[in-house]
Each structure stands twice: as C-alpha cells, then as structure tokens.
Structure 1
Amino acid sequence: MRLPFLLTLPRVLRHSATIGADLPPDEAVVVDPPDAPLRAALAAATAGDHGPARDLLAATRAHAQWELRDGYVTRLAEAALHNPGWLDAWLDRAPEDPDAALVKAELCVDQAWEIRTAARARQVSRDQFQAFFALLEDAAPVIGTAAELNPADPVPWRIALTHALGSQAPRAVFDDYWAEAVARDPHHYGCHTAALQYLCAKWHGSHEEMFAFAESAADTAPPGSKLHALPLSAALEYEVLTAGPTTASAGPDPFAPRVAAAVTRALALSAEYAPGSREAAGFRNQLALMLLRQDRWHDALDTFRAIGTAATKYPWAYFGDDPRQEFLETRSGVRIHVATRTPFFARPPHSHAVPATGWTADAPCALAIAAARPEDVAQAALMCGISLRTAPASATHTYIEAVPDLKPAKRSVLSTEDRLTTAADNFTTGEKWPTLVLRRTPERCGFTVFHKGRPLAAHEWNTTSPAPDHTTVAATAATLSRLFAVADPRPLSHILRSTGNPPRHQSDLLAALALPALPADFGTRPEVLDTLPGNRVLTRRGLLAGMRDTMTTQDGSHPPAPGAYEPRTARWWLLRALGLPLFTAAAAYAWWNPDIGPVRSTLSTLTALFLAGQLTAAWRRRRAHAGKTPR
C-alpha cells in the first residue's frame, strides 16, 4: 500500500489547498446548532428560568408548527435530563400546561434510554434492562397525559412510537400509535423516522418492510418535504448500521438498487434547499456519508459544501464518541480522495454547488496566551507552518492569534483542528512555558492548555450543558495549578463547574491563574491584536526554511545573507554533523518499520538530504575559499 500512496502523495500536496478551500473552516463547525429562539430558551432554562421555553413552545402550538415543535421539545428535554429544576418548577406552577407535559414525556423516555444507553443488547446488563423497562412503564401515563392535554398535537404520538420501540410493544400497539400520529399530521417527519426505527430489522421488522415503508412515505410526500429523504435513512440503516445483507450468499445485494435510488432521491431533495439550511442538515449529513460509501467523492464534497457548518450528531455518533471530530475527519478524508483523483498538472474540478454562507457570525474566535516573551514565541514558532500575530500581554506573557494565509501550508490545510490549536501544538514543543488557547462563540467558551507540545487539559463552558463531574474538573484544575503555579486548585474547580455565563467564567479563570485579561473585543471579531501596541505578524515559513531559520537565528527573524564568504561557526558545523547521522538513521528505520507511516518516512529522508546538501555546499565553499578546487 505504500507505493500507491507515494504515487498519489504529490497530487495531495499540490491540490489539497485548493480542493475544498471554499468549505467553512473546521473551527466554525457546530453539532446541531440551535436557532436563536431555542438558544435563548436553553440558556434561560440552564439558569433556572422556564419562561422563554414556555413562550417558545406555546408559539409552536398556536401556529401548529409541529416539526419545529418536535425539535424544540427534544432539545429542551435534553437540557432537563441533567438539570430538571426549571422543568419541575414549570410543572409545579402549571401542571396542566400541555407544553410542560410534553417536555416531561420526552424527558421520561430520555431518562430510560440514558440508563440503557445506545449499545447493542448484548452489551447491556440485566440491571440496566430492568431499570430501562421500569422507567418506560412509568413514562406511559405521562405520554398519555401529554396527548390528552393537546389532542391535535402529533408530537406525543412520536414519543409514543419511540416508547413502543424500547418497550418491545406488539405490532398491534404500534399500529394504533401510528394511526393516531398520521391522523394528526400525515407527513410529520419525526413520526415517520420513529416508525422507521421500529420497522427496521434490528428491532421489530425487516429490511423489506423498512424500505417499503420509507419508499411509500416518500412517494406520497408533498414536494420539498423531508420525507423524500426517508429512503436514505432506510439505506443508511441497512448499509451502515446493519452492515448490509445478513446472508452469506455470494449473489448480488438485493437492496443495492434501492440504496442507489434513495441516494439519488436525496440528492434531488438537497438541491431544493438553500446551502447551509438547518432544516436540511439532518438528511444532508446522512447523504454525505452514503455518497462516500459509494465512492462518489465529488458529490460528497459538494454535499459538505451544502452542509456548511451544520453538522449533526447522527450519523457521526455511530462511529465515535465525538460526532464533530468524526464529521471533520470524514470531510478531510473526502478532500484527500478528490485530490488523489485529480491529475497532477490538471486544474482541480470546478464545483457547481454553492457553498454555505453566513457562518462567520457563529465562527469561534481563538486567542492564545503564552507564558513567554514575544521574541521567545517568535523563535519557537518558526516551523509551525501557520502565520501568527503576537502582541505583548505583560512583561512575561504574550497574546497570540492566527492570521489568514493567502496560500496555507500544505502540511496544515487538512488538519481537523483549528489553526491556532495546531500552531500551539507545534510551537510549544520543546519549550518550558505553557500556553493557554482560548476559544469563544456566541454560546460556548473553552480552552486547551499546551505544554511541551502536548495538550494536557481542555474544558468547555456551554450554556446548554450540565456542570461536568467533579473528578474531571478536579483533574483539569490540578493540571492548571501545576502549570501556572497556583497554590490552591479549589477556586479553579469552582470556576470550571460554573454554568450559565461562559464568557464570564472564562475571564474568571484567567484572573484566578494570574494571567493577563482578554482584549475587550475578543469574541466579536476574528483578529483582535491588530490594534494592540507592539503587535507583530510572524509570516509562516516552509518546512525547510523554518528548519534553516531555527538553526541560524535567536530572535525569530532570518538574518540577511552575507555578501562575501563568511566561515561557518563551530556550532553550525556541530549541529549539522550531529543532525545528519541522526536523521539518516531515523529515515532508514522509518522505511524499514511498517508501523511508521509514509509521511514521517518521507520527512525524515528529506531532512537528511537537506542537511547533507548544506554540509556539502559549505565544505565546497570552504575549500574554494582556501584556494583548493572542489571535487
């Protein structure tokens, strides 16, 4: 496999910076971002105020916005899962409120699934199953109450269908629930997806029944309805989650034509929605996954363009604990595959897809604070491959931010981390001083602390997330107190467990660590250091230029080339004489060891050749200057 990779590596290096360059940056991608009204309701609920949530759901009920209502109820129930106080207060004040009862019904089902988890049945213990079924039994009357309080609402029946799935209700019960749901809204997407899960082979149906149900719903759906993507959900369930046909026969897959038709139908539906549409985000994320499974890399890249920043938890949560990271790695992999299929001297293929726009307002702002002087940071950042701007924060601290590169470095363009985090990972390597990388968006703030090239701790405050557990927070606080010489980590733990106001908690943490305060306009625009006195741009260098400058300068700037011959210092000869056998041995070992990837092997080889070239050229110049003819 190494030879094909080496043959396509030049294509990747040449085209990776341009293919997918119109995609939003990785740091702007958010999983299931709420709209503005829901964001306000979630923030208020976290603070203990149920008023905005009450008004939000009342409006959806008054205007019969059942799809929107379903999504809001799901997110509010998730918020109440670990912080139920606001919902309890709402029910105490208005026990007959149909909106509060609906959130409570969804919460009861969520609590049951929280205990069971989404693992396969063979991985769930007997005690978990007993608690799961007991909670589902308790949830049944709560769901019934929600349905009685608002008879026209299909959402309680969507919850009932989910309840039937987990409680292993017989088909007759499922059919009754389904009839009640479609009587209220025959094209409700949430009810159809819940029914599809019940009918899939891993639960209570079969592949044939699942596909037939999805295709029938799509055939009768109105134009533009998300139900046209329901066969795509069936295809995903069949091909990805159940790993295709269950028989061992060598014949053709009987469902392959239906999978292909589902993808084609979903592509047509995606074209009817605007790029970056939150409403289309769910099926577009599924579509991107199915396209790459069919090796339709260009179509998959166009779909990622249409998704923009609106990643969703599913289907990516099926492949790892971090859906966002899975989304980013998949998107990066698609770019690489497109690059490997583009001839070296050809122009990258032109896309007719319109990329999503409007994401810049929600893009996170990032700023680092290094416990070092600006000149020390400049010297350390020579080889990070990313242009940076620094500004003095105090006598012993430096602000750092990433600035745009007209032509990004090829070795960093496909990284799934934000550019400043990637740079900090690099420029802290071998340094004794720690660096705190801070991030801020409208609804969350976070940080990652680096020391000696390693991320040692990270944390995020989110307006909709519960307080983290004490063990995790204590470990993070201990790491911070050790790196920044704080005697008592307990105040840090208190700040890390705070909720409700992420920007304030982030600022409180800096004060507790005795670090300089953030610039006043941090979080309002991407670059905030350009107005600070003493700011300086560190233009990125190529790999070889960075290595050269690291060996020839102490202050982060490459010295001017001398006009006449100047003898090399003993230190110069010693460093290269030691480096050449070291990198030569490393390259030989890397190519010999199959566990070391081709990228590291190639870099070690190029470094050894570069040092050999430098030594050879310097030796020839020295002999020529001495009046001897070089070989």
Structure 2
Amino acid sequence: MSLFGLFGKKQPAFDSSEGDPNVATGLGLIEAGDGAALGALYAGLPPADRVHLIDGMGLLTEIAASLPPLDAHPAMPAIQGGLCYIWAHRLRGYDTADRTSDGQVMDMAQMAFHAQDLLAQAAEQTPLDSALYAFRIRAMMLTGGKEGAFDAICAGLKATGEANLLAEMARLNYLTQKWHGSHEEMYGVADAAAANPPNAAFLSLHARAWIEEWLYETGMNDVKEEKAAFRARRESEEFRADIAALDDRFRALLVDLPAPSRVERQFAHNNFAMLFHLNPDKARLKYHLEAIGDTPTSMPWGYVFGENVPKKLNKLRKSVGLAQF
C-alpha cells in the first residue's frame, strides 16, 4: 500500500490535513496496519475532530487503500465508512455534473453505497459516535436515500448526546437550497445551534449559512426578484449590524464558554473570515485571518479562490496588514 502526501512525496500547495497533526499520526497507523491504535486515536478525539481526522486521511490515502480489519477496534466500521465516503467523492471529482462522466458517477456510487453499508454497521456497533452520522448524511447527498432516511439519521445523531459542529454542518449542507432543502431550513439548523451553544464555534454555522445563501443567490438562482431581494438585504444597515452582533457574541462566548476544540476553532474563524471578506469589514476580517494563521480550510474559501487558497489568502492577509506565510 502506498500513501501520498506525507510519505516521501512533494506536498501539494494546499495542506489537505488543514494543519491537523492527528492526520499524520493516523496515516502512519494505517501504513503500519495498527487498527487498534488507529481506533483508539479516533475514539479519543473530540466529536468534530473525529470527522476532520477522517476527512484528512481520506484525502491523503490512495483510493481503496488497504485498511486495518474491521474487528481491530469497535470504531473501525466508522473509520472505514468515513474513508470510503471521502474516496467516493474523489472518484466523482469536483466538477459540475455536465463535466462528470458516467464512469465517474458509477465508481462514485459503488464506493458510496459501500460507505453507507459500513456506516450502518457502525451505527449498530458504536451508536453514540456522532461523527459517523456526519458521514451518513454526506454519503446520502451522493446517492440519495429512502423517504425518511435523513430524519432517521438526524434522530440517531441527536440520540448520541454529543454536540458535533461538523455533523451539524453536514445537516446544514444537506438542507441548503442547492441540495435538499431551503434557505429557511438551512438557517433553522444554524439558529438552533446558536440558541444554547456548547461553545462559541457553533455560532459560525450562521456565518456559513449566509455564505451558502450568497453562493446560491449569486451563482445558481435565476429568479431576478429573489436575487434582487438578497442584494437589498445584504446592502442594508440592518444586515451589517446583525453580522457584527454575531461576531461580537462569538468573541464574548470564546471567553465565557468552554474552549472550542482545535478543529472547531479553525472552522469558526475560517467561516467568519469569509463572511467579512464577502461583506467587507477590515478590522473583523483581520481578527479572524490572524486567528487562522497558516492553516486555512479548503471550504468555504474554495468558493471564491478555487484551488489557489493559500496564495489568494496571503494576498488577503497583506491587504489587512498581516504578514504573509
């Protein structure tokens, strides 16, 4: 088995691990075939960090790489299922449907259905692991599901009792208007997360919801009246005050509530920075860019910078008086 990205080969311009030190450890354990240690690493992480670990390893392993056996640790079905979802997404590619071949779609579907089977097994074996539900939702976005399947998965997620920022992000994304919901349903996820958040990072789901609305209204919606209404709201003083108040509450809760995990904090600052890049506020943008440091996330920056996130973000840092990396 060969692994790329961290074992003797040139690193890509963008760090697919997004600065997560657990990814390198996990890749080493896959290379060594040590499923017990890999499962223990995964199970010992905070909820959102488990999701991020699988994301990074999935991007940096060969598709269909040999993995430790399922019985090596109770968490292995969740780990394998999550990795298979990432591989399915890579098999499809990231182009629009008109630039995606039938062969890519077939390969994606086969891997995604395998991911769903593994994740269903994981839900029986480790039902209190919220991370596996994030990947069940994501996999459903690739293949679709039976009526009621999304609600059942969300009920399983709630039953874990874990607050998982990236699982909530998966729910939010599923309910965007470009996928299977509406702006109202999407904002419903963000509003619920912000009502009584376990830490400040959960407020950034509202920033991400607005970014998803912006993406849809500026690039996907053909209804002129709806686009005009979005533009008018975006240019209003009320909107500017609302996002400033959201950011102020985020900063206050960083002090008043338990500290977010490394992955949660990274998610929050990247999404707030994007919010204040699209709705220019130099001081607020600088604060979040400084917090991001040299480890930006591929999303949401990929919406505006494509594959040149590090280079374009450096230019943004320079524009607010921060050093470049």
Q: C-alpha distance in 2, partners of 1:200/1:266?
A: 22
In structure 2, the CA distance between the partners of 1:276 and 1:69, relative to structure 1 (3 Å rule), is: closer
User: 1 or 2, which has the higher helix percentage?
Assistant: 2
Is 1:66 the counterpart of 2:47? The answer is yes
Is 1:187 the counterpart of 2:163? The answer is yes
1:333 is aligned to 319
User: 1 or 2, which has the higher strand percentage?
Assistant: 1
After superposition, the C-alpha distances for 1:383-426 in whole angstroms (9 at most, x for unaligned) are xxxxxxxxxxxxxxxxxxxxxxxxxxxxxxx8x6x7xxxxxxxx
Please say which of residues 297-306 and 121-130 is displaced more in the overlay.
Answer: 121-130
Cα deviation for residue 253 of structure 1 reads 4.3
In structure 2, the CA distance between the partners of 1:139 and 1:44, relative to structure 1 (3 Å rule), is: closer
2:201 is aligned to 226
- Unaligned 5+ residue runs, structure 2? 1-13
CA contact under 8 A between 1:277 and 1:307: conserved in structure 2?
no
Q: C-alpha distance in 1, partners of 2:116/2:260?
A: 40
CA contact under 8 A between 2:112 and 2:143: conserved in structure 1?
yes
Q: C-alpha distance in 2, partners of 1:199/1:147?
A: 22
After superposition, the C-alpha distances for 1:508-530 in whole angstroms (9 at most, x for unaligned) are xxxxxxxxxxxxxxxxxxxxxxx
Is 1:324 the counterpart of 2:299? The answer is no
CA contact under 8 A between 1:275 and 1:306: conserved in structure 2?
no
In structure 2, the CA distance between the partners of 1:44 and 1:109, relative to structure 1 (3 Å rule), is: closer
Please say which of residues 191-200 and 305-314 is displaced more in the overlay.
Answer: 305-314
Code of the residue aligned with 1:115 in structure 2: it is L
Code of the residue aligned with 1:327 in structure 2: it is L
* TM-score, scaled relative to structure 2: 0.79
Is 1:138 the counterpart of 2:100? The answer is no
Q: C-alpha distance in 2, partners of 1:310/1:263?
A: 24
Cα deviation for residue 60 of structure 1 reads 4.9
- Unaligned 5+ residue runs, structure 1? 1-28, 336-354, 356-413, 419-631
Q: C-alpha distance in 1, partners of 2:88/2:15?
A: 27
In structure 2, the CA distance between the partners of 1:191 and 1:118, relative to structure 1 (3 Å rule), is: same
2:187 counterpart (172, 195, 211): 211
Q: C-alpha distance in 1, partners of 2:15/2:135?
A: 26
CA contact under 8 A between 2:277 and 2:285: conserved in structure 1?
yes
Please say which of residues 203-212 and 241-250 is displaced more in the overlay.
Answer: 241-250
Code of the residue aligned with 1:50 in structure 2: it is G
CA contact under 8 A between 2:55 and 2:86: conserved in structure 1?
no
How many equivalent pairs are there? 300
Q: Alignment partner of 1:311: what SS?
A: coil
Q: C-alpha distance in 2, partners of 1:96/1:56?
A: 9
Q: C-alpha distance in 1, partners of 2:314/2:36?
A: 35
Q: C-alpha distance in 2, partners of 1:324/1:42?
A: 23
After superposition, the C-alpha distances for 1:135-183 in whole angstroms (9 at most, x for unaligned) are 3223221111222221221222211111111112255111111111111
Q: C-alpha distance in 1, partners of 2:261/2:201?
A: 15
Aligned counterparts, 1:186-585, within 5 A: 187-222=163-198, 224-240=199-215, 242-243=217-218, 246=221, 247-249=223-225, 250-251=228-229, 253=231, 256=234, 261-262=242-243, 264-270=245-251, 272=254, 279-318=264-303, 319-335=305-321
Code of the residue aligned with 2:317 in structure 1: it is R
2:138 is aligned to 162
Code of the residue aligned with 1:216 in structure 2: it is A
Code of the residue aligned with 2:33 in structure 1: it is H
* TM-score, scaled relative to structure 1: 0.43
Q: C-alpha distance in 1, partners of 2:125/2:141?
A: 23
Q: C-alpha distance in 1, partners of 2:57/2:128?
A: 21
CA contact under 8 A between 1:102 and 1:146: conserved in structure 2?
yes
1:350 is aligned to none
In structure 2, the CA distance between the partners of 1:163 and 1:252, relative to structure 1 (3 Å rule), is: closer
Q: Percent identity?
A: 21
Runs of 4+ in 1 over 4 A off after TM superposition: 250-255, 257-260, 273-278
